[in-house]
Amino acid sequence: MGQPKLFSIIDKAVYDYKMIEPGDKILIGASGGKDSTALVEYFANRAKRKDADFTFTAIHIETDFEACTMSPRLREQMREWNVETLNYFVDVENRVKEGFKMSCYWCSQQRRNELVHFAVNNGYNKIALGHHLDDILETLLMNMLRKGELSTMPPRLNYTKYPLSIIRPLCYADVNAIKEHAAQSGYISTTCTCMYQDNSGRKDARARLEALTKGDRRAKERMLDALRNINKEYLP
């Protein structure tokens, strides 16, 4: 029996961007959502291959908001996959300086910073995040329309400040492929429902992406291809 379709999609991204290399020590950001859970399952599957020459650990960054915790059932599932899952607490709320308000974006930045520091301090050379194709294209639209900037989350980002790379193995997978895989695998994911969550900008970008592509995966793939096929002669 062949591997799941989603894993084949991830394999191509891993190959194209050299996301997994011999000797890698990879830290996976596991939020408990369907995207990062699918990513953890992929790594657990890939680690069983004969040529596997890497190690990985999943880490859940927990905050002082109860809504952002990983369910016990999901932790049990990861144990069944023989995945080591760490829990790292970040006291986000008490970091807010006087005169500033808590926000979903600020909280996510704090969690990302802690993820980077943990990776560097514990000898990891790569961090794997669960951003998928839709996330990348939504960010592209947000940056274009809000900042007048052509940029997004790259499949692989090599830090200059740290001996560390961010990899996004789901970059070729659209959200429907992940939903389908999650349903077939039968796992239960959790989503942060924090009261500070405000995704109005991303919801707007998601609606615009849907209007542009009609949900067509190939149209989304061509949008990503366009970012790698720049014809400067016909640009301002």
Instruction: Point out the annotated binding site for ATP.
Output: 29-31, 35, 61, 130, 135
DSSP string across the chain? -PPPHHHHHHHHHHHHTT-S-TTEEEEEE--SSHHHHHHHHHHHHHTTSTT--EEEEEEEEEES-GGGPPPHHHHHHHHHTT--EEEEEE--GGGPPTT----HHHHHHHHHHHHHHHHHHTT--EEE----HHHHHHHHHHIIIII-------SEEE-SSSS-EEE-TTTT--HHHHHHHHHHHT--------TT---HHHHHHHHHHHHHHTT-HHHHHHHHHHHHS--GGG--
Annotated binding-site positions:
29-31, 35, 61, 130, 135
